Structure 1
């Protein structure tokens, strides 16, 4: 019995060498291209600045897909001419945002208006694991309606994609601020 106690005491003393410490948190080291813009060079009823690092795919009906291959993301631009249906277009745009409330932690709206260029609308930020984190819609109230939505080609994990969302958000704000309707 004495030998067993002596052996246990010896094992306890030997095992109490180094103290185990938790590993420090690791942070992603993401590299984003420098911000720089070109004017959209497409045959569309609108124009705005687009990030130099993005690629543009023209779609039917004056729609666009602005791709960010390095970030595995895109901004989907939809255009609709107004034909006495502005109210329906606005309701549809806001309804699409509200569909994200199931996964969203918070939705914030910001009005946008530039009366000199006749650009009026809203930008919406959706925090949480929603399919789209930023959306906007703008109109001139008489002829044009444009909607933009940010999507990632991955299952949404808001904490992981937040830096990329913030990076692309700057580009979306640039789009709104430089948007011009072609007459």
Structure 2
């Protein structure tokens, strides 16, 4: 038997054997994430027009710039979750001549609507917490930068907007478990939120 014939026979044998073997594709997997226990602390800094509870595994930093510009007041903050590369951006505006209430509401819906090219759904729901703080919660479905957004207001003086972002490529499947975990914290923040009288 020549070398060419032997090679052909060997390749054919491997091919027929491979066709008869069973192959099971492995599903895509993600790293196991160890979640900390839920425990909260109070954010009640002097001079701030609001207070709320946030997780002990998060840290709050003052946000002093907005797209390179100075924020319009000193009460903008970020709630960072270093373990999950997540952040809740909190912006605050005083309702008045410069910030018309109807315009603030429209802007909140417009900002959420910017996800329509990637989202397969945008659900909004009215909310009222135990301290009679009212607002709207947005749940955006799909591979979007922020799937959870909200705003809180008293309709006359205060308007606060929050959005949970991740420092990662938007992928609904891979972020889902972390999103669900942090959503409990977002809901706790909203339910514990109160407006404070300023001096």
State the TM-score bracket (shorter-chain normalisation): 0.7 to 0.9
Task: Count the aligned residue pairs.
Answer: 179
Query: Which of 49, 54, 79 is residue 50 of structure 1 equivalent to?
Result: 54
Q: What's the CA shift for 1:27? A: 4.5
Query: Which of 134, 154, 160 is residue 148 of structure 2 equivalent to?
Result: 134
Match of 1:121 in 2: 135
Query: Which of 182, 185, 194 is residue 168 of structure 1 equivalent to?
Result: 182
Gaps of 5+ in 2: 65-72
Question: In 2, Cα distance between the equivalents of 1:172 and 1:13?
Answer: 57
RMSD between aligned residues: 2.5
Misfit runs of 4+, over 6 Å: none
- Whether contact under 8 Å (2:89, 2:164) holds in the other structure is yes
The structure whose residues are more often helix, as a share, is 1
Question: In 2, Cα distance between the equivalents of 1:22 and 1:176?
Answer: 46
Question: In 1, Cα distance between the equivalents of 2:92 and 2:113?
Answer: 20
Match of 1:112 in 2: 127
Gaps of 5+ in 1: none
TM-score in terms of structure 1 length: 0.87
Question: In 1, Cα distance between the equivalents of 2:30 and 2:110?
Answer: 36
TM-score in terms of structure 2 length: 0.80
Q: What's the CA shift for 1:28? A: 3.2
Question: In 1, Cα distance between the equivalents of 2:82 and 2:54?
Answer: 14
Question: In 2, Cα distance between the equivalents of 1:172 and 1:59?
Answer: 19
User: 1:27-106 alignment to 2 at 5 Å?
Assistant: 27-43=30-46, 44-60=48-64, 61=73, 62-83=75-96, 85-106=100-121
Q: What's the CA shift for 1:167? A: 1.1
Task: Report Cα offsets for 1:82-101 as digits up to 9, x if no partner.
Answer: 11511111111111000111
Question: In 1, Cα distance between the equivalents of 2:77 and 2:159?
Answer: 14
Match of 1:21 in 2: 23
Q: What's the CA shift for 1:42? A: 2.3
- Whether contact under 8 Å (2:126, 2:137) holds in the other structure is yes
Q: What's the CA shift for 1:8? A: 4.2
Corresponding residue SS for 1:163: helix
CA spacing shift, 1:24–1:155, aligned 2, 3 Å: closer
Task: Report Cα offsets for 1:124-168 as digits up to 9, x if no partner.
Answer: 011111111100001011111010001111221111111111111
